[in-house]
Structure 1
């Protein structure tokens, strides 16, 4: 199940270009998000590790990007992790993938969430994240490139959007992404309403499982997901190098 969820999550957050080098997947999306711009190994790490690392590095540097590796706990990545650490790669964002089995029954909860268009959702997301720059065209391209069924939603308080998120449904699995609440409106149940609304949408569409990715250090988010019934199913973390070729 772990590998299936990871494969589905990669499809749910697509890159613009993917290269498969002997089972190592290199993904590229103009540098926007580590998930879409890193090397993922879905099976056992295998042999010829140094050759594979060097080849992957060359591909990222050719695109003027830092080489990034996403290490999955279920692939026994200890040797690869050690090799990358020796080369000077920094450990970034240890994270969890959490999952919940969905019932065919209704949740019997009807949070009032709103469906948004991609463009309107991006504006709301950008505002809630309190970012100064305009919404990223690359972010827009990634979302527009999702081939699975997708739902952009928001939660409003006094006609103002205070939270938003995305549901991506693929092969009966519902992924929840880009969940954000206004910093001034947290701990009021808005994120819960977004998740419950997306879960109900997924159940209505025939989903049997939902997953969500969360940085382990984000304790409030982890506690919220556990309260809603999500449980850890595997871990992942990133090793980030430089694009200068100076790793040892």
Structure 2
């Protein structure tokens, strides 16, 4: 598959793996407004074309987010040119440089770890781990529940249990032969013991069994421990990068 085609397929898969219950389209741009602290489900993403100038839609976008009491945020993938300069000129600051990584699953061996649980619906113990590990606020948990509740694609929520609690979690969603890895987290008391790797191994084995040919994920560019973990699991191919441009004038 050509790199450009794969990148846009990954963009599509990642969007569908973390949906927003509130989305509208403005001249091809996708505006998401789920609420909560997560940028990906509260930002504007560009249409699929070689260049995209956001200036024409800025008044409308800023008015919508202002009405919601939120800052206007644009997601800027390296796949699309023409977004950064106009936003920077208007005071939109750069945030969260991120890498999108990929691994081929075609020759990946299937593994099995009895300590890892895989379920097709998010349970209360998984939510409890998500809340505890990430020190998530009530608003963050509520918007996460709404988001994963909108997933209509094949999915699995994975957790590695130690005693009565889940020590490491992640979930995966398969879209058009690609598994997107989301919400990878390990409790601080159980880090550096291979638990996150075991959880991701289990998800990739499920993906292979389900016919997926590749897996992808996004990681903040300066998160060296996470980058090292993902490299060890085969995520060595960087497809593209993205960052956000945020304007706090509306808040």
Q: TM-score if structure 1 supplies the norm length?
A: 0.90
Structure 2 gap segments, 5+ residues each: 1-5
Aligned 8 A contact 1:166 1:179 in 2: yes
Q: TM-score if structure 2 supplies the norm length?
A: 0.89
Shift of 1:105: 5.7
Aligned to 1:38: 43
| Bigger shift: residues 190-199 or 161-170 | 161-170
- Secondary structure, in 3 states, of the residue corresponding to 2:79? helix
Q: Tell me the distance in 2 between the aligned counterparts of 1:177 and 1:127.
A: 17
Q: Tell me the distance in 2 between the aligned counterparts of 1:119 and 1:105.
A: 29
Q: Tell me the distance in 2 between the aligned counterparts of 1:111 and 1:47.
A: 46
Aligned to 2:89: 86
Aligned 8 A contact 2:31 2:42 in 1: yes
Aligned 8 A contact 1:114 1:153 in 2: yes
Structure 2 vs 1, CA of residues 205 and 87 (structure 1 numbering), >3 Å: closer, same or farther? same
Pick from 209, 217, 225 the counterpart of residue 220 of structure 1.
Answer: 225
**C-alpha RMSD of matched pairs (Å):** 2.0
Pick from 107, 113, 127 the counterpart of residue 111 of structure 1.
Answer: 113
Aligned to 1:130: 135
Structure 2 vs 1, CA of residues 85 and 4 (structure 1 numbering), >3 Å: closer, same or farther? same
Structure 1 gap segments, 5+ residues each: none
Report Cα offsets for 1:85-128 as digits up to 9, x if no partner. Answer: 12111211100110111126633x22231135413211121122
Report Cα offsets for 1:57-88 as digits up to 9, x if no partner. Answer: 12211222111000000112xx3212211211
Structure 2 vs 1, CA of residues 47 and 216 (structure 1 numbering), >3 Å: closer, same or farther? closer
- Secondary structure, in 3 states, of the residue corresponding to 2:23? strand
Structure 2 vs 1, CA of residues 97 and 233 (structure 1 numbering), >3 Å: closer, same or farther? same
Aligned to 1:97: 100
Shift of 1:13: 0.8
Aligned 8 A contact 2:36 2:140 in 1: no
